[in-house]
Structure 1
Amino acid sequence: MEGMKPVAGMVVVQFAFAGVNIFYKLAVCDGMDMRILVAYRYLFASAVLAPLAYFVERKKRTKLTWRVMLLSFVCGLCGGSLAQNLYISGMKLTSATFASAMTNLIPAITFVLAVLFRYEGLAIGTVPGQAKLAGTLLGVGGAMLLTFYKGAQVTLWPPTHVNLAAQLAAHHHSSSSSQPRLATSEEPNRAMGSLLCTGGCFFYALWLILQARLCREYPFHYSTTALMCLMSALQSALFALCFDRDPAQWSLAFDVRLLAAVYTGVLASGVMLVVLAWCVKRRGPLFASVFNPMMLVVVAVLSSLLLGEDLHLGSVLGAVLIVMGLYAVLWGKDREAASTDHGKVTAAGEVPHIDVIVHRHLPPPPPPSPQQQHQQSPPAAAITR
């Protein structure tokens, strides 16, 4: 059960991040600028995590150093402002489907970076190493199949006839003459959009590596997450102000914009980042990244139930490959842990056999007699010399 806690934590994280994608789409249909939503996301996260970190860890927290502050700034830049804004910019130049597919490169990029930074061993000649590599490729392939291949329509449950995105878009068009800015503000450019999305995936994977380093330097999850969110909030707010200073875009009312900002900030970037940092510290950055394709499975189900999207055969087949890939990586890491930890129970459930060898020592010889000592003593000339 202790080993299953990081697995359960990462499953909960992916469910929460799937909800972020749903709220992103609802906020876009309401005409909100996504750069502003990213800024609000980390502002709300900082407002929640800062007092929580102060009261929970004030007695055991050590003094902050400039090294920890610098690592927090870089983590906020890579995993927060850069990764999110590059993803949004790439989605503007391509499509939401293409950008979602590009995020499945994160496990492969994280695997390469983890090997380069020596957080993971390649060990391609061993069975656990081959299982980790095959599982990573299976997860990426399943996510690509889920995104790009539709196939026949599959009906797993009766249609709900609920389409929140269409309702919000109709309400926005009727109340305002402005069009949503996400899809129509720039001309499509697949090459540049692919480059931007790949950059976002690279910085997110780099953030997972840096997060593992930050947890070693300063092992206080609430404090490090609060610092990272504060850095991301300042960076994202400055970036959004450079492009949009319209007060109407920055105003929040009791609508889907406020709900999206609260959900993405408090739950996704607040509570879930604490859980994610804990999982990275316990099992490593590769373990956290291989769960990323699971988000697409949850998004496909929620989109079918809430956004009126159809579920196709490609989604089902992709989900099967993703689950197989996750199991292969987890099995490989468990076998590695079992082989390196000789004091624990092996993967087969057997207690390791220990051979105890007892050596019989001969009794000590009797002390020499005075005559033997006189014979063994060196001559006087040798002592003088």
Structure 2
Amino acid sequence: MRLRLGSIWGAYKAHLIMASFQLLLAIFLIMLQSVLSTGISGLVLVVYEHAIATCVLIPLAFFLERGKRPPLSSQILCYTFLLALLLISFCQIMLTLSLQYVSATYESIALNVMPMIVFVLAVLFGLEELQFGTVHGQAKMLGVVFSVAGPLTMVFWTGPTLFKSTLTTTKASIIGGTMLAMATLGGPSFILLVGQVIRKYPAELSLSAMISFFGTIQTAVITGFLVTGPSWKLKWDGGLILITLLLGGTLVTGLFYYAQIWCVHQKGSCFHSCLPTSPHCLLIPPRGNSPEGIYSTGKVRLS
């Protein structure tokens, strides 16, 4: 029995890890939107989150990969800096700031389009074969179609309003949608590039720590130019901000980075985005100041 469970865990470990972190991401998005609704700067939160993530990842990488890391070259450092730019300074900042304009539900729906973008880019760059004549290839295409059809259905096919928001405006939707579109291009670009880098530098924890370190520096410089001094001071009323920062720094932007890179190394670039579960966890009543309402979809009628 133990042998059988061990073999199942070995075969589906990457699937379970990614599914668990997707559920965690859904919870974090809700908490993050609640924190941002108090007026705290999203840029400052990104800096603090990644500072915490760096403090978590560097000791882990130092002790767990001691003697296992390959030599660090200037080429790997340049790639790592670019990866941090794509994932943190571009994608993460856009995702965080977009929560000030659209709901966490809509953001998670937009993230569901990433599998399609990753797959299309992988095919275009020759990193993935289409193989449409095989069952495996047809299953991939079907997954791409579902990954696009599901989010579009949730966005455009709305029924009666269940929970109405008072802050929904066309301008806010356009700004938030533009940020999400930019993020959904930066994220897949990171996934494809990290799949190539990890082959040259097969040390997932060390690579994650360096990405987080460079991302912290980059976002701190960006935030320093855009945010005034008083905005760097956080209010700790109620403890939600502290909990959000610790959760985001240790798990969502800390160990999740490591999990992403590990899964890409083990299963390939397209695997990372094959488990888009977070939208289903975000269909909950929003706060009164949420930028979006919640609707029943399709022909479902709730009295």
With the length of structure 2 as denominator, give the TM-score of the two structures: 0.83
Structure 1 segments of 4+ aligned residues over 6 angstroms from their partners: 308-311
| CA contact 2:91–2:186 (8 Å) conserved in 1 | yes
Query: Which amino acid in 2 is paired with 1:253?
Result: W
1:245 aligns with 2:228: yes
Unpaired runs of 5+ residues, structure 2, are: 1-7
Matching residue of 2:5: none
The CA deviation string for residues 269-298 of structure 1, in whole angstroms up to 9 with x for no partner, is: 111221121111111121111223x11112
The CA deviation string for residues 176-234 of structure 1, in whole angstroms up to 9 with x for no partner, is: xxxxxxx79x9926555434321211110001111111211111111000000111111
Matching residue of 1:32: 40
Cα distance in 1, alignment partners of residues 244 and 16 from structure 2: 25
**Cα distance change on mapping 1:152 and 1:269 into 2, 3 Å:** same
1:1-385 superposed matches below 5 A: 1=8, 2-92=10-100, 98-151=106-159, 188=171, 190-191=173-174, 193-251=176-234, 253=236, 255-292=239-276, 294-300=277-283, 303-304=284-285, 313-314=296-297
Matching residue of 1:355: none
Query: Which amino acid in 2 is paired with 1:240?
Result: T
With the length of structure 1 as denominator, give the TM-score of the two structures: 0.66
Cα distance in 1, alignment partners of residues 121 and 226 from structure 2: 33
Cα distance in 2, alignment partners of residues 92 and 200 from structure 1: 15
Query: Which amino acid in 1 is paired with 2:62?
Result: Y
Q: Which has the higher contact order (CA 8 A, sep 6+)?
A: 2
Cα distance in 2, alignment partners of residues 103 and 96 from structure 1: 10
Q: CA deviation at 1:307?
A: 5.4
**RMSD in angstroms over aligned alpha carbons?**
3.0
**Cα distance change on mapping 1:152 and 1:188 into 2, 3 Å:** closer
**Cα distance change on mapping 1:149 and 1:249 into 2, 3 Å:** farther
**Cα distance change on mapping 1:148 and 1:43 into 2, 3 Å:** farther
| CA contact 1:87–1:196 (8 Å) conserved in 2 | yes
Q: CA deviation at 1:314?
A: 3.1
Cα distance in 1, alignment partners of residues 149 and 252 from structure 2: 26
Identity of aligned residues (%): 26
Q: CA deviation at 1:95?
A: 5.7
Q: CA deviation at 1:77?
A: 0.7
Q: CA deviation at 1:149?
A: 3.5
Unpaired runs of 5+ residues, structure 1, are: 155-165, 167-182, 318-385
Cα distance in 1, alignment partners of residues 139 and 99 from structure 2: 33
Q: CA deviation at 1:109?
A: 0.8
